[in-house]
Homo-oligomer: A and B are copies of this chain.
């Protein structure tokens, strides 16, 4: 099926939905009914209440209409004819649209506002088209199918009712919007629904609450994460892993404050170019201080604390730096869109010749970090400049070509697919974005490697070269995980909360069948507790209840201890999502773990 055909089907389904509504509520007033990414919706002003539970009934009515093989009849009429028609039909929203067409030559609300404000010239409209399908007549530009037999009646579904202001303006009336989805056929629809179910099951906001990983509290504020003990274990484990990696890769850890005098962000240019993402200043003794939205200016200030020579380069600073950036409250979501987050933020300061190797090191580091979290499918987008607009960029042609070549070579060496995004680079340098696929094939942009020809100059960084000359070094910003908050949000969805052993908040739970088995359980507990995160679920409740609880907590291993286990000095092991491993020796179990 051509995507154009699917578009027409979806558009036609919107009309059929309207026709079905007309059968239920003859006084219904019709707003608009466009196509969406996976279906369609229609906005109505209803005279009787319709709820989520009514959707199957409406669906049924739509199916009946489809089975009647209704035709979509297009008519071209004059604007005044149309106005008379919709007045007669008593459809005020359609009349409003026609008035707008007459006055502004468009029904696009944004465009109309712009025309009004900027007093733009208006295109004259003489004719409009209407579509009739059964009893329902709509003002509509088309495309539609010819007749409803082109629609598989099992390929669509109404999924949601929501309120929506007429034309998205809260000063207008609130209408009822009914959403539908529609696909080529029943199988595709079911596939989509199953996928949605999968996504919903993995929603980190729900799992995060169920598994007690994090909380957002109204007294603290939206977009500000409280890491509960279990979530904090995951965060701390990841941080330890990352810091260890820094050490092994000759990064130097630094710590910098969360606030700074405005002077620092004046030098860096953030107050000129990034202010909308920054919070309002704090006043200290008549000076303005800002919460940091980025760590780079601090790292460059650290570089400047002493004279540097070519022997000191490359210098690789890294920090788990918590930054605060403004996001509108409406856009905040769980861990993935927050107001405060911790970057695993690195800044490499090197000379021109060291750029290729440093970029390559960064990519290798990205690979080893992301593979640790079982991401396998990598691709890269490489944002470069638009050579034809040279003047808009900082840095010489030589610098740009060399940098872009170095990035390309590194990507090719690591054998990842890449897309070049011409003209997408920042004015101060090219960058690499690394994109991975998660367990259900969703793509996430995670790591970034950004070259910067700007900040070293702004901060007047320099080093003494072999010939005793002062030179300006180059700067690479790089983040492996990006925001640790967002990354963990993503991990929760990627793993569906079934964290691998090394990340699981509780790794092992011991279940003594009854009180007689408690002392042997404690013995095992004390043998394992040094190395593992382990818990005993004491026999206050039935074994089956406790097993269920351990399953719900997604604990990797349950050790069940009863008479038999005690007698044979063994343990019964049950692995989460695998099942019973049987009666085994404790040492055998320990060697399995390592």
Contact = CB atoms under 8 A, between A and B. Distances in A.
Nearest to A530: B248
Interface stretch (A81-89, A281-289, A398-406, A467-475): A281-289
A326 B298 CA distance: 21
Interface stretch (A106-114, A123-131, A223-231, A356-364): A223-231
A260 interface: yes
A287 B329 CA distance: 12
Contacts of A235: 255
Nearest to A306: B212
Given A215-B305, A219-B264, A259 B340 contact: yes
Contacts of A263: 218-219
Nearest to A215: B305
Given A219-B264, A229-B252, A229-B254, 17 more contacts: A215-B302, A218-B261, A219-B301, A220-B301, A221-B261, A221-B284, A224-B259, A224-B260, A225-B255, A226-B255, A226-B256, A229-B317, A258-B322, A258-B340, A279-B289, A280-B282, A311-B540
Contact of A280 (B226, B252, B254, B283): B283
A324 interface: yes
A206 interface: no
A470 to B, nearest CB: 20
Among A226, A253, A255, A283, chain B packs the most CB atoms within 10 A around the CB of: A255
A91 B324 CA distance: 61
A423 interface: no
A258 B342 CA distance: 12
A417 interface: no
A590 B274 CA distance: 51
A220 B284 contact: no
Contacts of A328: 285
A209 to B, nearest CB: 9
Contacts of A257: 220-221, 224-226, 340
B282 A291 contact: yes
Interface string A290-324: 01000000100110111000010000010000101
Interface string A42-80: 000000000000000000000000000000000000000
Contacts of A252: 229, 232
B219 A260 contact: yes
A254 B232 contact: yes
Q: Which 3 A-B pairs have the closest CB atoms?
A: A229-B252, A227-B255, A224-B257
Contacts of A219: 260-261, 263-264, 267, 301
A164 interface: no
A283 B221 CA distance: 12
A333 interface: no
B305 A228 contact: yes
A226 B326 CA distance: 24
A282 B279 contact: yes
A492 to B, nearest CB: 16
A249 interface: no
Interface of A: 212, 215, 217-221, 224-229, 232-233, 235-236, 243, 252-261, 263-264, 267, 279-285, 287, 289, 291, 298, 301-302, 304-306, 311, 317, 322, 324, 326, 328-329, 339-340, 540
A289 B326 CA distance: 13
**Number of this chain's copies in the complex:** 2
A236 B242 CA distance: 13
Contacts of A220: 256-257, 260-261, 264, 298, 301
Contacts of A261: 218-221
A340 to B, nearest CB: 5
A536 to B, nearest CB: 12
B256 A258 contact: no
A299 to B, nearest CB: 9
17 contacts: A215-B302, A217-B304, A217-B305, A219-B263, A219-B301, A221-B284, A221-B289, A226-B257, A226-B301, A227-B255, A229-B302, A233-B253, A235-B255, A258-B324, A279-B283, A279-B289, A291-B291
A167 B101 CA distance: 81
Contact of A228 (B254, B285, B340, B540): B254
A263 B221 CA distance: 9
A221 B279 contact: no
Contacts of A280: 282-284
Contacts of A243: 236
A344 to B, nearest CB: 14
B324 A259 contact: yes
A260 B223 CA distance: 10
A541 to B, nearest CB: 11
A226 B254 contact: yes
Nearest to A280: B283
B285 A226 contact: no
A291 B258 CA distance: 10
Contacts of A236: 243, 253
A4 to B, nearest CB: 42
Contacts of A224: 257, 259-260
B289 A284 contact: no
A282 B282 contact: yes
A313 B267 CA distance: 51
A221 B256 CA distance: 12
A281 B255 CA distance: 24
A305 B226 contact: yes
A236 B281 CA distance: 30
A301 B227 CA distance: 11
